[in-house]
Amino acid sequence: MLSEIREKAAPLMEPVARAFARAGFSPNSLTLIGLFIGSVAALLFAKGEPRWAGLTLLICGVFDVIDGAVARLTGRETAFGGVLDAVIDRYVDFAIFIGIMYSSLEELWWRLPSWAWCTLALTGSFMVSYTRARAEAAGSGKLDVGIAERGERLLILAFGGLLNYTHVAVALVAILAHATAIHRLIVTRYRLR
């Protein structure tokens, strides 16, 4: 969903990307800055500061968009850069959910402890990415379908933190991520027939 908006908003990001490129930032350095900011968001969740964590997560999301924009603008798109970006995204996802688990958001919600919700959300998040990678490697073509791609999941967690409803955001991510992974499997089956 957001991937379509991102493509349409690319011209709006160009001045920001140009400023980062002029300042000498490489796409890979911006990816690593995103890792640092995502880790700060995870620590803020862990310390029980969900509003600050949500705000920091929004900033992390900006860097997640800017690194690719700078790569395209400067002609520095590389296969390694794409792999690095994907790996760093997984590390940030992992850190965020560990931070939320550590803060113990709510003891029980819908009769499941917080660690169970975070584990479901983390597993679903990884399966969304894994399903896409495997399907594309098998020849499905670009598989950016589903309602909970990474951008959507980050926004849900960020706004959940900002509104002090982290437990609701985690449950929503858990449900939507698994729905997206299943949706991708269905689309892959159709495409690979």
Distance CA 6, CA 10 (A): 6
For residue 82, the Cα-to-chain-centroid distance in whole angstroms is 14
Closest among 88, 97, 95 to 30, alpha carbons compared: 88
Catalytic (active site) residue 89 = yes
* Cα distance from N-terminal residue to C-terminal residue, the chain: 25
- Select which of 64, 85, 89, 93 is catalytic: 89
Helix axes 166-191, 79-103, angle to 10 degrees: 140
- Say if CB 26 and CB 66 are below 8 A apart: no
Assess contact for 17 and 76: CB atoms under 8 A.
no
Cα dist from 147 to 1, 178, 187, whole Å = 6, 10, 13
Pairing of the two strands 108-109 and 112-113: antiparallel
Tokens (6 digits) for 111 = 């009769």
* CA 35 – CA 148 distance, rounded (Å): 21
Q: Which residues are catalytic?
A: 89
